[in-house]
Amino acid sequence: MYKLTKNITLSVVTSLLTLGLVGNASAKVEGDTIVLGAAVSLTGKYTTAGHHTQRGYDLAVSRVNSKGGVTVGGKNYRLKVIYYDDESTPARGAQLAERLIKQDGVKFMLGPYSSGLTKAMAPITEKHKVPMVEGNGASRSLFNKGYRYLFAVLSTSEQYLQEAVNLAAQHAKAMGKSPSSVKVAVAVENDPFSLDIRAGVLDDAKRHGMKVVVDDKLPRELSDMSATLTKVKALKPDILVVSGHSKGASLITRQAAAMRVKVPMLAITHCESAKVTDNKKFGTKAEGTLCATQWAPTMTYRDPWFGSAGDYAKDFKAAYGYVPPYQAAESTASVLVWVNALQNANSFDTEKVRDALSATKLQTFYGNVKFDATGKNIAKPMVLRQVQGGKYVVVAPAKWASHKLVHPRP
């Protein structure tokens, strides 16, 4: 008997709780506070990048709030983010998306870190018709599934090194040669992100009629590139493109120097995470290398919240003690896109807000934002920085270049 009573009490309490939560679900706005939800990687293999993401969000929220918040229907609202730790695992990310939407009643989502986690969460937000603005999922496979509620402020991965191919073409033209005389070598890791990069590079090489002389896919347990580099030495391409996360960046920087591979242009990704400019680790071996980046503090974009990209970098450094990597900047930009869309929609109706998001036309310190029908940002180019004198300087695209390209690399 006692057990039965206990069970009944339990179920009553549970249902009351559930009711309370359901009641909460319609209230995506609590009083004068708009609630955003995010799952970020605070533990696990993406811990570092996860913290950059969270700090990017936090800085945006505190800045927007201190500048008067978000104005909807003539009333000012403050922003707040509910965070959960996704432990760097996609399955947990998907669970947390469900929890944020169904239990916490969040109607406006921010993205997690990495393409993999975004890929796991997008089907959930899509199912519940909750818009998600993300700044850290670059794989183009996110944008060919017909998602209506996913918006990405960053450039997709196939664009990472396309600019380098165009740069090689421009250089050939300037030398009075046809771009089709340029020989391209590609060595990328066998993973979705790097294969995207390869696809982008091959597309552009084809467009210019260039000849691809090396097209190697590096294994994941890659620890030696000498076979590929021997081929590069034999075939003498004009440009070598390498993408293999920080492992690839670190190997190519070391081995190209050790084997005296004299390729006039070397374009790679993940320079920052591999710390190729670290004098103690690499000496001056990275000199002249082109590095793809989403954003750099020297760019001249501006917005009313942070001012210029340089101002943002200063504020971020004051708050967290280090120069913001692009992962933080694109996270901040995601929040700014939300603010802009909510104000333009002038409503909290998710469909109206979604339409406002899709019509976004905004300049932030991070770059211009304009989404195409698939939700990816088509207004912001990737930037190429070259290592010159041990420092990163922007050399392309021409509009944002602060320095001239050194070609061929020393």
Partner 1 sequence: MDNLQLLIDAPVFTLQLLIDGLLAGAIFALAAYGMALVWGVMNIINITQGEFVILGGFVTLYLSYLGIHPLWGVPVSALALFIVGWGVYRLVIFRIVDRDLFISILATFGISILLQQLMNQLFGADIQNADPNLGTLFLFNDDVAIANIKFVALAVTIVTGVLLILFLRKSRIGQAIRATAQSARAARLMGINTDRVYATTYALNAALCGATGSLVVMTWVIHPFIGLIYTVRSFMIVIVAGLGNLAGVVVAGLGLGAAENFAGFLLGTEFQAAFVFSLLVIILVWRNYRLGKKRQYLK
Instruction: Please state at what angle helix 309-320 crosses helix 47-66, rounded to 10 degrees.
Output: 110
Select 276 or 356, whichever has its Cβ closest to partner 1. Answer: 276
Q: Produce one character per residue of 112-127: b if its CB has 16 or more CB atoms within 10 Å, e if not.
A: bbbbbbbbbbbebbbe
Give how far Cα 71 sits from Cα of 35, 64, 101, 197, 277, Å: 14, 11, 23, 40, 44
Residue nearer to partner 1 on the CB measure, 45 or 391: 45
Q: How far is the CB of 217 from partner 1 (least distance, A)?
A: 4
What is the β-pairing status of strands 150-152 and 108-110?
unpaired
Q: H/E element holding 291?
A: strand 290-293
Cis ω on the peptide bond leading into residue 237 (within 30° of 0)?
no
CB of 194 to partner 1, least distance (A): 12
Query: Judged by CB under 8 A, which stretch of 166-174, 248-256, 310-318, 381-389 contacts partner 1?
Result: 248-256
Regarding 408 and contact with partner 1 (CB under 8 A), the answer is no
In the complex, the smallest distance separating the C-beta of residue 281 from partner 1, rounded to whole angstroms, is 7
Strand segments (E) across 135-273: 150-152, 183-189, 211-218, 239-243, 265-268
For tokens 């990472």, name the residue: 160
Q: CB of residue 399 vs partner 1: minimum separation in angstroms?
A: 33
Question: Residue 195: CA atoms inside 13 Å, Cβ hemisphere, count?
Answer: 7
Compute the least distance from the CB of residue 254 to partner 1, in Å.
Answer: 7
226 contributes a contact to partner 1 by CB under 8 A: yes
Is residue 247 near partner 1 by the rule CB under 8 A?
Answer: yes
User: Which stretch in 17-25, 224-232, 377-385, 393-401 sits in contact with partner 1 by CB under 8 A?
Assistant: 224-232
Question: Binding residue for partner 1 (CB under 8 A) from 24, 95, 166, 246?
Answer: 246
Interacting residue with partner 1 among 1, 175, 234, 398 (CB under 8 A): 234
Binding mask 168-207 for partner 1 (x = CB under 8 A): -------------------x--x-----------------
Which 8-state DSSP code applies to residue 155?
A: P
User: Helices 115-127 and 90-102, interaxial angle, to 10°?
Assistant: 30
- DSSP 8-state assignment for residue 346: T
Residue 5 interacts with partner 1 (CB under 8 A): yes or no: no
Q: Does 89 bind partner 1 (CB under 8 A)?
A: no
The one among 102, 233, 302, 314 contacting partner 1 by CB under 8 A: 233
Amino acid letter for position 28: K
First to last CA, the chain: 86
From 62-70, 106-114, 163-171, 258-266, span contacting partner 1 (CB under 8 A): 258-266
* Cβ-based burial of 78 (10 A; exposed 0-12, middle 13-18, buried ≥19): middle
Task: Report the nearest approach of partner 1 to the CB of residue 271 (Å).
Answer: 12
Shortest Å, Cβ 111 to partner 1? 22
Quick one: which segment of 5-13, 54-62, 215-223, 286-294 binds partner 1 (CB under 8 A)?
Answer: 215-223
Chain positions contacting partner 1, by CB under 8 A: 45, 187, 190, 215-219, 221-228, 230-231, 233-235, 246-247, 250-251, 254, 258-260, 273-274, 281-283
